[in-house]
């Protein structure tokens, strides 16, 4: 029993380990991406400084707090990553999904560890950004151990919420096989609704309610809120609980949808 | 007990009529319009342990669809499949452990990574014991010449190299059932030969049950004793390869390129003059009656020949002839 579980764990660990290797296959992206990201971040910082030119607080948030939030949200954007739709789409289009389904491992678990591998790789790639943010824009990182712990737990939970949510959305590609529109739509929605552009506290009440009724913010605004102190640390257990409820709901919805969708599969070509 | 048992297997694809763009895709979600296409139409067969069967037919005959249903990724519309006593669609993951699959037109390897990385992972997923794995790798290095490829990313491989890698990936866990969907497609003669030898050494000698689809009669002749021919989703022949070979494999065609335009040539017994135009002379002969050297010798005695070539009848022709009832006529 234990040896079977250990064997299964080692399979998933191996699947997980493939991803950083694939990232390393295209090193040139790293440098191009880094330059682009620094420019984008500079634009965001200057924008918010301009907004705060005539005022010291907006919705209770000071300039430093807002800029810290914006920079951290930018750096931790990979938490929301919506690769699944693209991956399902291209796997279906090229017929690769057939080999994925023919692996003698749980298909969803296999994808989860691979997405997790992708997340960790991306976050490692973002580390230089953290360095530049501290150096150029005077980012001050929290030092408290419990703050980081609360953040990491919340980030993992939020990532898992988005994984199941994206899984649910990706099932649509089994029906449409047309993914470009869906993929772009999800990316745009993720950008706005995850809280990457504007802190949730600045949104009007009705908009904040709307944003919190879809899962995107769980992966970014919520954990980064804990990290920046916008959400007090004492709220962490409540925040986690809400995230766990999201996971359960999304897990049920995505599993049911997938079970139906996979029957629709028509591997193209050949 | 049969390893594979297929009864009245049918697959009807509902092919959506698509409108372009995202709007069209969304409309398609709510008001889908479909056409029905029957890809596989009530086929039945049984395979015993260690049998290797050539599953042939022209493009679009339903070969790949059958294979996909056998692997469990595609759900049959009707009929039943048992592979090693399991329903491959319902028990997809269990079934996957015991089968090996090569699709000649797509890869199961990680495109950007060195081959050895893919093989390591696959061995892990299929729970191949490390000692066994090393043994298999050594063996494959000999039979497939993998050594030079292990550190090459798959994207940098030639088609032949890729196919050798695919075979290694599909057989590293020594599956009981193997599906090879056009494993020799687009390969040169030397690689083909190597892959056939490999299939003989790895599958046939180890008693694996193999279904092989191909357009190359040479593959079938060398590897299979039994063939199933399908056309339009139906089985039109299921039986020994010998019958096919006797009927169709005995003819060869020689084409001579001549220095001058020739009107007529006298041919030896068992041969037949097909055409003489544009400085080309085409002769068909029966291998059981005559030989290539007899025919070529006789022709070269009469006329000056610049070049000549020998060809076998191709599969599409044979399938067409069988479909038109050629085998029945032969039997009478």
Reported as a single tens digit per residue, the pLDDT across B13-60 is 877 676 677 777 777 667 777 778 888 999 999 999 999 999 988 788
Q: Residue A269 falls within a domain, yes or no?
A: no
What is the mean pLDDT of the segment spanning A49-71? 89
**A35 touches B at CB < 8 Å:** no
B275 burial level (CB within 10 Å; 0-12, 13-18, 19+): exposed
Mutate to test the interface with A, among B108, B162, B214 (most CBs of A within 10 A): B108
B64–A95 CB contact, under 8 Å: no
Q: Residue A240 falls within a domain, yes or no?
A: yes
B68–A267 CB contact, under 8 Å: yes
The reported pTM is: 0.77
Q: Residue A270 falls within a domain, yes or no?
A: no
Chain B residues touching residue A11 (CB < 8 angstroms): 124-125, 127
Given A14, A97, A182, which is nearest B121 (Cβ)? A14
Given B73, B97, B120, which is nearest A104 (Cβ)? B97
Note whether B104 and B115 are within 8 A (CB): no
A217 burial level (CB within 10 Å; 0-12, 13-18, 19+): buried
Reported as a single tens digit per residue, the pLDDT across A180-203 is 888 888 888 888 899 888 888 888
Total domains present in chain A = 1
Long-range contacts of B276-285, Cβ-Cβ distance < 8 Å, separation of 24 or more: B280/B255, B280/B256, B281/B255, B281/B256, B282/B253, B282/B254, B282/B255, B282/B256, B283/B253, B283/B254, B283/B255, B283/B256, B284/B251, B284/B252, B284/B253, B284/B254, B285/B251, B285/B252, B285/B254
Name the band, by pLDDT with cuts 50, 70 and 90, for residue B242: confident
B22–A102 CB contact, under 8 Å: no
How near does any CA of chain A get to the CA of B45, in Å? 22
Q: Residue A33 falls within a domain, yes or no?
A: yes
Per mean pLDDT, which range of B23-27, B61-65, B195-199, B324-328 is the poorest?
B324-328
Distance CA B179, CA B69 (A): 11
B30 burial level (CB within 10 Å; 0-12, 13-18, 19+): exposed
**A56 touches B at CB < 8 Å:** no
Distance CA A134, CA A123 (A): 16
What is the mean pLDDT of the segment spanning B240-258? 80
Q: Residue A206 falls within a domain, yes or no?
A: yes
**A7 touches B at CB < 8 Å:** yes
Name the band, by pLDDT with cuts 50, 70 and 90, for residue A154: very high
Q: What ipTM does this complex have?
A: 0.73
B121–A103 CB contact, under 8 Å: no
Domain region containing A134: 2-264
What is the mean pLDDT of the segment spanning B63-78? 90
Reported as a single tens digit per residue, the pLDDT across A209-255 is 999 999 999 999 999 999 998 899 999 999 999 999 999 999 999 99
Reported as a single tens digit per residue, the pLDDT across B138-148 is 988 888 888 88
Distance CA A114, CA B229 (A): 41
B121–A18 CB contact, under 8 Å: yes
Beta strands B209-213 and B177-181, pairing class: parallel
Q: Is the pLDDT of residue A266 over 70?
A: no
Reported as a single tens digit per residue, the pLDDT across B141-186 is 888 888 889 999 988 999 889 999 999 999 999 999 999 998 888 8
Nearest residue in B to A99, CA atom: B108
For residue B330, the model assigns a pLDDT of: 47
**A267 touches B at CB < 8 Å:** yes
How near does any CA of chain B get to the CA of A141, in Å? 36
Nearest residue in A to B111, CA atom: A22
Interface of B with A (CB under 8 A): 13, 18, 21-22, 24-25, 28-29, 64, 68, 71-75, 92-94, 96-97, 99, 101, 103, 105-108, 110, 112-113, 117, 120-121, 124-127, 153, 181
pLDDT mean across residues, chain B: 85
A104–B13 CB contact, under 8 Å: no
pLDDT mean across residues, chain A: 87
Q: Residue A238 falls within a domain, yes or no?
A: yes
Q: Residue A178 falls within a domain, yes or no?
A: yes
């Amino acid at each position: 029993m234990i040896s079977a579980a250990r064997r299964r764990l080692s399979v998933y660990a191996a699947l997980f380990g493939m991803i950083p290797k694939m990232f390393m296959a295209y090193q040139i992206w790293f440098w191009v991406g880094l330059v682009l990201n620094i420019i984008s971040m500079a634009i965001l910082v200057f924008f918010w400084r301009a907004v705060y030119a005539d005022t010291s607080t907006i919705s209770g948030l000071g300039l430093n707090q807002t800029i810290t939030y914006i920079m951290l949200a930018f750096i931790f954007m990979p938490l929301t990553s919506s690769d699944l739709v693209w991956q399902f789409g291209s796997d279906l289009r090229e017929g690769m999904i057939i080999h994925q389904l023919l692996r003698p491992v749980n298909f969803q678990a296999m994808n989860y560890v691979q997405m997790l591998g992708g997340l960790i790789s991306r976050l490692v790639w973002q580390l230089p950004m953290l360095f530049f943010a501290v150096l150029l824009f005077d980012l001050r990182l929290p030092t408290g151990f419990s703050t980081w712990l609360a953040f990491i737990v919340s980030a993992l939970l939020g990532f898992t919420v988005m994984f199941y949510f994206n899984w649910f959305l990706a099932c649509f590609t089994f029906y449409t096989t047309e993914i470009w529109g869906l993929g772009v739509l999800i990316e745009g929605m993720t950008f706005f609704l995850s809280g990457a552009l504007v802190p949730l506290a600045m949104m009007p009440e009705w908009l904040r309610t709307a944003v919190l009724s879809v899962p995107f913010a769980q992966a970014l605004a919520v954990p980064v809120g804990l990290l920046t102190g916008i959400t007090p640390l004492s709220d962490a257990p409540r925040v986690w609980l809400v995230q766990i409820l999201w996971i359960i709901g999304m897990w049920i919805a995505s599993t049911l949808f997938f079970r139906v969708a996979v029957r629709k599969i028509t591997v193209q070509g050949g | 007990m049969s390893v594979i048992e297929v009864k009245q297997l049918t697959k009807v694809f509902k092919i959506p009529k698509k409108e372009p763009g995202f709007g069209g895709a969304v409309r398609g979600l709510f008001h889908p319009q479909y056409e029905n296409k029957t890809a596989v139409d009530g086929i039945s067969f049984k395979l015993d342990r260690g049998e290797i069967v050539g599953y042939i037919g022209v493009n679009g005959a339903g070969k790949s669809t059958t294979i996909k249903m056998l692997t469990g990724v595609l759900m049959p519309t009707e009929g039943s499949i048992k592979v090693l006593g399991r329903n491959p669609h319902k028990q997809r993951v269990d079934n996957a452990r015991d089968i090996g699959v090569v699709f000649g037109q797509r890869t199961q390897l990680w495109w950007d990574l060195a081959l050895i990385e893919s093989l390591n992972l696959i061995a892990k997923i299929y729970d191949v014991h490390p000692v066994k794995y090393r043994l298999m790798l050594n063996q494959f290095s000999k039979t497939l010449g993998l050594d030079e490829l292990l550190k090459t990313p798959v994207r940098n491989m030639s088609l032949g190299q890729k196919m050798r890698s695919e075979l290694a990936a599909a057989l590293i866990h020594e599956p009981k059932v193997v599906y090879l969907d056009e494993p020799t497609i687009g390969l040169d003669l030397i690689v083909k030969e190597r892959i056939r030898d490999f299939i003989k050494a790895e599958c046939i000698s180890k008693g694996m049950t193999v279904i092989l689809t191909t357009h190359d009669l040479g593959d079938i002749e060398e590897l299979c004793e039994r063939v199933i021919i399908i056309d339009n989703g139906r089985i039109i022949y299921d039986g020994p390869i010998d019958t096919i070979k006797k009927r169709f494999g005995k003819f060869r065609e020689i084409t001579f390129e001549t220095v001058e335009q020739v009107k007529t040539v006298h041919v030896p017994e068992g041969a037949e003059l097909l055409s003489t135009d544009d400085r080309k002379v085409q002769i068909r002969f029966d291998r059981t009656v005559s030989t290539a050297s007899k025919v070529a010798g006789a022709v070269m005695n009469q006329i000056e020949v610049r070049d000549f070539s020998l060809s076998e009848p191709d599969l599409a022709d044979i399938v067409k002839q069988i479909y038109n009832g050629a085998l029945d006529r032969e039997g009478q």
